[in-house]
Amino acid sequence: MISFRSFSKSFGAQLAVDGLNLEVARGEVLALLGPNGSGKTTTLKAAAGLIVPSAGAVMLGEPPRSAQEPAAREVLSYLPQKVSFPDALTGREIVEFYRELRDLPGERVPKVMRFASLNGAGERMVGTYSGGMVQRLGLAVAMLPEAPVFLLDEPTAALDPDGLCAFDALVQHAREDGRAVLFTSHQLGDVERLADRFAILVGGRLVACLSASDLKDRLAERGVMRLRFAPVEGRDWTAEAVLPAVRPLAPAASWSGDELIVPGPASVRPRVLDLVRTLGIEVRGLTADEGQLGELYRELVAEAAPAHGEGAK
């Protein structure tokens, strides 16, 4: 549905996106992540046909058409990173304006107003809106056409929890209806909850692309289990007693205070538990944490950054 084919974009000497190959299929939600200035907005703008590639191509829809063709605009809906609307119009007038522009049925207006929770503010002038309300209005406008391709640039940046809930529902509907959604975000929690795949741009280059299940595996590998053991008179299971037995299963196991720390994938944990029980040790407490997307993201960016001159950012 969305296809970047060796897409590059330079602004003068500044190479904003460098040879991007990426596909977003029907019914797929892809999150584009990356540090400030890494080329995310440039990528979305190219898909929206707003900038011309310096090299390569961006294709949209089925059958694929160049994003540069006016006809390609009909298959897409684009939410810019910076939305701005005329201050002197009401939210409803703005939604109505875009509805007419795209020749859509009138029933779409109350639907998107409700969906973006703008009912209360729809009759007020946009000049009186808060930042989050303007963003909700932008989302309402983006949702109007029910297009097969959604391009959303930082859609959740200013949303409150209710707004986030509405956005989640929007993404869920889009997925169920077989649309392709490409969105950018710095809110890793939103990304992890919503996306089927995660692409990371650093210095204009795609440095990682993980599916939700790849991500789950990567995060599980980075998890950690902590065990506390019940004291038994006359027995000692300090580091010296327990670690040599556990390390063949979990080489990174260590002892901290009164806890045995077992880093590594969730799959190793039952075996460690079985083992400590066979040593005759009673487990008094167990906690397990999975890896955090934030940490993995920072590592992937840091690995890629020096090679792309992003280290100082």
Ligand X SMILES: Nc1ncnc2c1ncn2[C@@H]1O[C@H](COP(=O)(O)OP(=O)(O)OP(=O)(O)O)[C@@H](O)[C@H]1O
Q: Which of 41, 90, 135, 185 forms a contact with Mg ion (CB under 5 A)? A: 41
Q: What is the footprint of ligand X within residues 8-27 (CB under 6 A)?
A: 11, 14, 16
Q: Which of 3, 8, 42, 77 forms a contact with ligand X (CB under 6 A)? A: 42
Q: Which of 54, 81, 211, 254 forms a contact with ligand X (CB under 6 A)? A: 81
If one asks whether residue 187 binds Mg ion (CB under 5 A), the answer comes out as no
Residue 36 interacts, among ligand X, Mg ion, none and using kind-specific CB cut-offs from 5 to 8 Å, with ligand X
Give the DSSP letter string of the chain: -EEEEEEEEEETTEEEEEEEEEEE-TT-EEEEE-STTSSHHHHHHHHTTSS--SEEEEEETTTTEETTSGGGGGGEEEE-SS----TTSBHHHHHHHHHHHTT--TTHHHHHHHHTT-GGGTTSBGGG--HHHHHHHHHHHHHTT--SEEEEESTTTT--HHHHHHHHHHHHHHHHTT-EEEEE-S-HHHHHHH-SEEEEEETTEEEEEEEHHHHHHHHHHT-EEEEEE---TT---SHHHHHHHHTTT-TT-EEETTEEEEES-GGGHHHHHHHHHHTTPPEEEEEEEPPPHHHHHHHHHHHHTGGGT-TT-
Shortest approach of ligand X to residue 191 CB, angstroms?
13
- Beta carbon nearer to Mg ion, 34 or 145: 34
Q: Which of 1, 22, 34, 143 forms a contact with ligand X (CB under 6 A)? A: 34
Residue 80 interacts, among ligand X, Mg ion, none and using kind-specific CB cut-offs from 5 to 8 Å, with none
If one asks whether residue 278 binds ligand X (CB under 6 A), the answer comes out as no
Shortest approach of Mg ion to residue 82 CB, angstroms?
9
If one asks whether residue 39 binds ligand X (CB under 6 A), the answer comes out as yes
Residue 254 interacts, among ligand X, Mg ion, none and using kind-specific CB cut-offs from 5 to 8 Å, with none
Residues lying near ligand X in the complex (CB under 6 A): 11, 14, 16, 34, 36-42, 81
Residue ranges in contact with Mg ion by CB under 5 A: 40-41, 81
